[in-house]
Every structure is written in structure tokens, then in C-alpha cells.
């Protein structure tokens, strides 16, 4: 079945540590997106990519980095520069209109 796979489901980060969230899709979608979800704030766009080897900052890119070396993969790294990384992270992919979302990763700072 086609879809988006995010891993891990739960992730714990120590202070000062970088962590990488995985997002893989087999839908042959060109565009991929990373959103952050916090209580009471909806979903906010971190980064997006329309094609391989190209990506753009979203509204809250500071403290995050991404790569797009393959069409299927769009990993997100939460760096030590992100001061408040505890949140739920959602990856999505899509054709021009209509996203498919992954099941998310819950990141917690310990």
C-alpha cells in the first residue's frame, strides 16, 4: 500500500543533542513538507521541498535542517539550536493539491 512512513513514533532528546526524524513516501509525490504541532497553535510549516535537491524554509525553520537527496525521503534534523523542540512533528507529501500525512513523531526533551 502506498503511504508515508514516519519513524520513530516517539523520540527523546537530551539537551544539546541533534536528532533526526525520518520521513519516507512511496506515493511518487514530488512535494514533501514538515509541520510542527503544538497545543493551541495548529500546524506550523517548518520546511518544504518541491523537487529533489531543493527545499525552502517555512514559517518556523530556525533550529531545524532538512535534506532531499531522494524523491522518497525528506528527513528532518532538530538541532541543538532549537530551544523548544518538544512537539509533535508531522510529515506530508502531495501532488499539487491534496496532502497525505504520516502518522507523526512525538519528540520530547529530557
Partner 1 sequence: AQTVTQSQPEMSVQEAETVTLSCTYDTSESNYYLFWYKQPPSRQMILVIRQEAYKQQNATENRFSVNFQKAAKSFSLKISDSQLGDTAMYFCAFMKQHGGATNKLIFGTGTLLAVQP
DSSP E strands, the chain: 4-7, 10-13, 19-25, 31-38, 42-51, 54-57, 64-66, 76-78, 87-94, 100-101, 105-109
As a whole number of angstroms, the distance between CA 23 and CA 74 comes to: 5
Contacts (CB under 8 A) with partner 1, residues 19-48: 31, 33, 35, 40-45, 48
Binding range to partner 1, per CB under 8 A, among 12-20, 21-29, 65-73, 90-98: 90-98
Q: Is 60 in the site for partner 1 (CB under 8 A)?
A: no
Cβ of residue 15: shortest distance to partner 1, in angstroms?
A: 26
Identify whether the C-beta of residue 55 lies closer than 8 Å to the C-beta of residue 32. Answer: no
As a whole number of angstroms, the distance between CA 55 and CA 31 comes to: 9
Identify whether the C-beta of residue 22 lies closer than 8 Å to the C-beta of residue 102. Answer: no
Which residue, 49 or 82, is less far from partner 1 as judged by CB?
49
Which residue, 16 or 42, is less far from partner 1 as judged by CB?
42
Q: Is 107 in the site for partner 1 (CB under 8 A)?
A: no
Binding site for partner 1 (CB under 8 A): 31, 33, 35, 40-45, 48, 50, 56, 58, 88, 90, 92, 94, 96-99, 101, 103-104
Amino acid at each position: 500500500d502506498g503511504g508515508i512512513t514516519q519513524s520513530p513514533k516517539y523520540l527523546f532528546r537530551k539537551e544539546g543533542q541533534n536528532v533526526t526524524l525520518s520521513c519516507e513516501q512511496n506515493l511518487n509525490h514530488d512535494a514533501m513538507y514538515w509541520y510542527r504541532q503544538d497545543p493551541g497553535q495548529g500546524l506550523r510549516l517548518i520546511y518544504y521541498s518541491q523537487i529533489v535537491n531543493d527545499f525552502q524554509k517555512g514559517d518556523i525553520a530556525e533550529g531545524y535542517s532538512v535534506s532531499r537527496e531522494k524523491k522518497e525521503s525528506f528527513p528532518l534534523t532538530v538541532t541543538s539550536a532549537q530551544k523548544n523542540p518538544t512537539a509533535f512533528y508531522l510529515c506530508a507529501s502531495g501532488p499539487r493539491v491534496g496532502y497525505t500525512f504520516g502518522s507523526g513523531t512525538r519528540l520530547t526533551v529530557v
